[in-house]
Structure 1
Amino acid sequence: MRKQTVAAALCAASILMGAPAQAAPARAAVAPGAAGADARFAAIHRAEWQWRIKQGLAHDEASRDQVEGDYPRVDAASQAARLAYWQDVLRRLGGIDAAALSASEKINYQVYRAQIAAFVEELRFREYEQPVNADSAFWTDVTYGARQPIATAAGYRRYLARLAHLPRYFDEQLANMRAGLARGFTPPRVTLAGRDAALASVAESAPEATVFYQPFKDMPAAIPAADQALLRAQAVAAIREHVQPAYARVLAFMRADYMPRAREALAATGLPDGQAYYQSKILEFTTTNMSADAIHRIGLAEMAKIRAEMMETIRQSGFKGDLPAFLAFLRSDPQFYAKTPDELLMRAAWIAKKFDAKAGQYFGYLPRQRFAIRPVPLDQAPYYTAGRGGPGVYLVNTWNLPARALYSLPALTLHESAPGHAFQMPVALEQKGVPPFRRAYISAFGEGWALYTERLGTEMGIYETPYEVFGMLSYQAWRASRLVVDTGIHAKGWTREQAQAYLRENTALSEHEVTTEVDRYISWPGQALSYYLGQMAIMEARAKAEKALGPKFDIRAFHDTVLQLGSVPLPVLAARIDRFIAEGGKSPYPKD
């Protein structure tokens, strides 16, 4: 999953809200004393959701499939108004007796309060003044809409109206960046190298060659040819007159001012009020109040355990040599790398289909939504991760094939497609009776689940060779090492070179991946902590349920219970599994 600002996260939540609901989990009866508290809570979150819609940060059911006609306001005044509004929401939430809520509303309350608190913290620290990092930026975020199909002529006209509003949106972002630059609130300079390329690909190309023209290359046959020709001409004009000048302004600013003057220090704790800021990111991305020191120690301990598993796997492979020699072998032997982009995509598809054969043994409820496997767009690929997944899509990075090891592909595929992101997120979307704010993505849960599925692949028989098992272990080490590296950089004074060396020595990641990943952690404090801590919470919950239930433990019921939650803070997950145990390990879905 990519970086999401408050606005992006809210838009994602509203998009997810519109998915079809299929299976209804059993709902607990409301205790007589809970009705009043439930009603007060509902009044708050329903009014706030309607306010989000008016702000352009969310969508109602009727407009969920429509192309956006504008961008939300992101200027400082609008951000300050949102901060005040959400602070008032928090105040009103504090006036509700959470203990008096019904069982289902207790979960909703915990999720909602954590969500609003995260929005408040992001705005309090004025994160909107840094709308760019090594992983993504507002000028790449806006291209996602250009990659989606448009079904009607009216949709194309709304899309053209959106392009006309892009200069206003970019100018507001530029003003925010200037304010951040003035107070030293920028990504570290070293992590911005080359990130202007995506801007140049739009500003310096023919309009028809830009990503914004993509929806016009293959238009629906239902639109008359004459209308298609007119819309294409209007698109060329809009891109030339509105989009490209806006991109050119940002490109000039990036090259002349922002990149040369961005801060040199790496640590988030070196930012204004940096200690509190980094702790707020730990809370947001792990949903816990753990300290950086405690997380660092966990990372070191887990790395030692994984190292032992790695050494045993090397022994099983028959390789004669130590870990550094084995890593050098994996990084250099041609047998481990695809020769063409199509070969990599086909191998990913084969792995995904291997899961399909096992799905019914591990999951009682299967999502209706399928996913496509697509290459990462070339304008983003050089600085993109090896893959990303979500509802309807598994993106595989086919750029720089010598950096895309086949022995890691099974773990990557499980994580990003099914039963990872492209499975978990649709399951969440298909729940009935869930308020729209529950559709938002919580990193500790979502990334923790996806990483858990990589381990689950050993039980499912997905890994067929010691090399693929080692690839999974390397990915485990990669995520555990993030606990060490993220806290090392942002709380312990680690250098970029020190962080790169740690990944290089402890994982089988390619040199390209080592570089891009470390820059991602440097410029995106705390996010890297989500994965392993989330996986640990799920594995600990499973171990507890297995021990308590004994022969009554059903892996399908456990997985269904976890996924039926959607995306929740880790303490909510732990409490739900306690209830799962108390109820005898039954599935949350009614039997047919």
Structure 2
Amino acid sequence: MNKTLLALTISALVAMVGCSDKETSASQAKTSAPEQTVAPQVQSAEQEYLALVDRYFNDMLKLEPMYATFVGVNDYNDQFGGDLTEEYLKSRHELNSRYLKAVKAIDRSALPEPLQLSYDMFTYDRNMALVSETFPSYFMPMNQFYSTVITMVQLGSGESAQPFNTVKDYENWLSRLSGFINWTKLAQARMDEGIASKVVLPRVLVERIIPQLEAQLVEQPSDSLFYAPITNLPESFSEEEKQKLTQQYDTLIGKELIPALASLKQYFQETYLPVARASDGWWGLPNGKLWYQHLANAHTTTTMPVDEIHQIGLDEVARILSEMDKVREQVGFKGDLKAFFASLSSEPQYFFSERQGLIDGYMVLKEKINAVLPNYFNVMPKADYVVKPVESFREQSAAGASYEAPAVDGSRPGVFYINTYNLKAQPKWGMTTLSLHEAAPGHHFQIAIKQELTGVPEFQRFSGYTAFEEGWALYAEYLGIEMGLFEDPYQYFGKLSDEMLRAMRLVVDTGLHAKGWSREQAIQYMKDNSPMAETDIIAEVERYMAIPGQALSYKVGQLKILALRAEAEKALGDKFDLKGFHDQILTSGSLPMAVMEQKIHRWIKAQGAKA
């Protein structure tokens, strides 16, 4: 929904609940007797809440114009945003404080049950945001895994959320790109502050960033990935418009963007790299252990201590190793489990020899999975998804696979990205579980269905909690067993291998950031307990170093969903409806774990009453 429609929604709500002061005065002027004056109607809690969160969503989009583009609101496509400025930090604090105070003034008990869930989400978000801003994350404004540079390259390629359909669209991007050029200077200033405060990235992550920036430093503007929209100018543009835009893009990319990126690269190489920290985990930062506990809580949406999470990881690793050994015995492999890992990781029959073969294999698998989905789901996304290789400029540091949401307006499908850089890191036996996780019924179902929801506040359609989203995707892998997709023991081993990755993450992430583990220690632990390719393991460990706590969310979220399903099955017996359970999980958007638990408990009670 665009900003105008949101504003109309708010106006309609106000119109429903009473007159404006001006209209009231006019009404009183026409009335001779005071007792005949009609008092303005009082808003119900529901009307007040819906109006409040819509106002919040509008205000938030103004503050976060890049986010607005990704959710399909194009009113701010010419703006980059000022996420590193003092003005932005002050405005963000004021926004969250003001709306937290306002929502607390609404009587939650007077809201219908679905909006009570929404209320809990909204309150949770504002509280967590206010805690998050007490830690100086803006001193480390980019890393090798998630960075504004990578986002801007994707947007500027013309194959992401930024539209390039009209002359105005092209002009909007030029304006946004100018804002990004200024951001590269602000980023250096913030990193200077980080150096002074000893809040800096680990050395190895800086070493990964430098070649990513180097890849953008082309000799001619036309060789830049940012030039792609000019090579695809719409036929409807006049020759004069095409010439003007081409000249503008040539000038901005050649004279401003590439020099700015060169300056940023030089800064990382000459100024930042020499002072990057030797410690690999968050414990090496000022107040780092407390900061990491917050990040663990934020990503898992729980209050679990990191020591407890570490122990769960150790227990899960032991359990999955036992299951893996059973598969080794089933297929008749004569060596031990470590030799089985080595065989699966090296023998040619387990890998594609061509990149396109890997992509084609996932397309075949897509059709196989799609055929059985209606047996397990009432609600499925309207949007489709496509399978694409990761772009060449980021493939060396990107994860093995990822998912990008479809366009909100339906103009672009979801994207299941496969990293084809190292085919030895993409074994055939891991394909089924990876597709289930990243595409259908994993991320594609959860995220696309959330975006397609109607009758819920806009913030709820676009909020996200890693534990819910990744927990669902890992649950989707588990569901593949019931769907009959793991009858091949090697594909089942692939499922166990991916589950092992998520269990190891609990151990390694907490080990790195709370227990003083080194990068090398984390890499060795993963090599000892899985058949993953070494390049994949290194990319994983460096990812945990860059975004601490995020990797904890997968297993924690999956275990919670499985526990809630087991609780429902036990309570309802033969009245348990698996499709209905999946509806409950997927049709309120992404939820914090505690809020999701409350929803499922109410559903169990309601289903029991029906029975």
Whole-angstrom distance in 2 between the partners of 1:96 and 1:385:
43
Aligned-residue offset at 1:329: 0.4
Aligned residue identity for 1:85: L
1:110-189 equivalences under 5 Å are 110-149=120-159, 150-189=164-203
CA distance 1:233–1:527, change in 2 (3 Å): same
Name 1:560's counterpart in structure 2: 583
Give the Cα separation in 2 of the matches to 1:14 and 1:334: 51
Alignment partner for residue 53 of structure 1, among 23, 42, 61? 61
Alpha-carbon distance in 1 for matches of 2:334, 2:43:
67
Moved more, 514-523 or 95-104: 95-104
Distance in 1 (CA, whole Å) between partners of 2:371 and 2:282 is: 45
Given that residues 201 and 379 in structure 1 are in contact (C-alpha distance below 8 angstroms), is that contact kept between their aligned partners in structure 2? yes
Distance 1:585 1:556 in 2: 16
Corresponding position of 1:347 = 361
* Aligned position for 2:286: 272
CA distance, structure 2, for counterparts of residue 226 and residue 179 of structure 1: 46
Structure 1 residue 406 corresponds to structure 2 residue 428: yes
Moved more, 454-463 or 117-126: 117-126
The CA distance in 1 between the partners of 2:292 and 2:282, in whole Å, is 6
Q: How far off is 1:117 after superposition? A: 2.4
Match of 1:521 among 544, 547, 563: 544
Q: C-alpha offsets along residues 408-430 of structure 1, whole Å, 9 cap, x if unaligned?
A: 12111111111111221110111
Task: Please say which of residues 459-468 and 365-374 is displaced more in the overlay.
Answer: 459-468
User: What is the CA deviation profile of residues 249-284 of structure 1, one whole-angstrom value per residue up to 9, with x for unaligned ones?
Assistant: 111111111122111112313322223211210111
Give the match for residue 304 of structure 2: 290
Q: CA deviation at 1:394?
A: 0.6
Cα RMSD of the aligned pairs, angstroms, is 2.4
The answer as to 2:59 corresponding to 1:69 is no
- Note the 1:296-307 alignment, pairs <5 A: 296-307=310-321
Deviation at 1:35, TM superposition (A): 7.0
Match of 2:323 in 1: 309
Change (3 A) 1:62 1:110: closer
- From 384, 387, 394, the equivalent of 1:370 is 384
- Structure 1 192/102 Cα, relative in aligned 2: closer, same or farther at 3 Å? same
1:392-445 C-alpha deviation (Å, 9 max, x unpaired): 111111112222212112111111111111221110111111112111221000
2:335 matches 1:321: yes
Between stretches 376-385 and 244-253, larger displacement belongs to 244-253
Equivalent residues of 1:541, 1:577 under 8 A apart: yes
What amino acid sits opposite 2:445 in the alignment? F
The alignment status of 1:506 with 2:529, answered yes or no, reads: yes
Tell me if structure 2 keeps the 8 A contact 1:86–1:119: yes
Cα distance in 2 for partners of 1:542, 1:354 equals: 26
SS for the counterpart of 2:393 is coil
Mapped to 1, the partners of 2:535 and 2:71 lie a distance apart of: 44
User: Corresponding residue for 1:531?
Assistant: 554
Shift of 1:52: 1.5
Partner of 2:28: none
1:109 is aligned to: 119
- Highest Rg: 1 or 2? 2
Cα separation, 2, equivalents of 1:404 and 1:232: 40
Normalization by structure 2: what TM-score?
0.87
Q: Deviations over 1:65-104 (max 9, x none)?
A: 5682120112133213322432343344444454443312
Q: Give 1:544's aligned amino acid.
A: E
Q: Residue in 1 aligned with 2:275?
A: 261
Deviations 1:283-325 (A, max 9, x none): 1100011001111111111112111111111111111111110
CA distance in 1, matches of 2:391, 2:146: 13
Would the aligned equivalents of 2:81 and 2:179 in 1 still touch at CA under 8 Å? no
User: Which stretch shifts more, 471-480 or 34-43?
Assistant: 34-43
Query: Given the alignment, which residue of 401, 417, 437 partners 1:387?
Result: 401
Partner residue of 2:505 out of 458, 482, 488: 482
Q: Measure, in 1, the Cα distance between the counterparts of 2:428 and 2:584.
A: 33
Segments of 5+ residues of structure 2 without an aligned counterpart are 7-41, 406-413
TM-score by length of 1: 0.89
Aligned-pair distance for 1:174?
Answer: 2.1
Q: 2: distance between equivalents of 1:368 and 1:421? A: 14
Distance 1:556 1:148 in 2: 38
Task: Indicate how the Cα distance of structure 1 residues 66 and 98 shifts in structure 2: closer, same or farther if over 3 A, else same.
Answer: closer
Deviations 1:80-136 (A, max 9, x none): 332243234334444445444331221111111222223223322121221222312
Retained in 2: the 8 A contact 1:14–1:60? no
**Residues 135, 340 of structure 1: alpha-carbon distance in 2 compared, 3 angstrom cutoff:** same
Q: How has the CA–CA distance of structure 1 residues 537 and 66 changed in structure 2, closer, same or farther, with 3 Å as cutoff?
A: same
C-alpha separation in 1, matches of 2:450 and 2:167: 32
- Residue 428 of structure 1, aligned match among 440, 447, 450: 450
Q: Deviations over 1:169-226 (max 9, x none)?
A: 2222222222122212122112332321221121234211221111222233333455
Alignment check: 8 A CA contact 2:568 2:604 kept: yes
Say which is worse superposed, 253-262 or 36-45, in terms of deviation.
36-45
Question: Does the 8 A contact of 2:389 with 2:418 survive in 1?
Answer: yes
Tell me how far apart the structure 1 counterparts of residues 548 and 71 of structure 2 sit (CA, whole Å): 37
Aligned-pair identity in percent equals 33
In structure 1, runs of 5+ residues without a counterpart are: 1-12, 19-33, 588-592
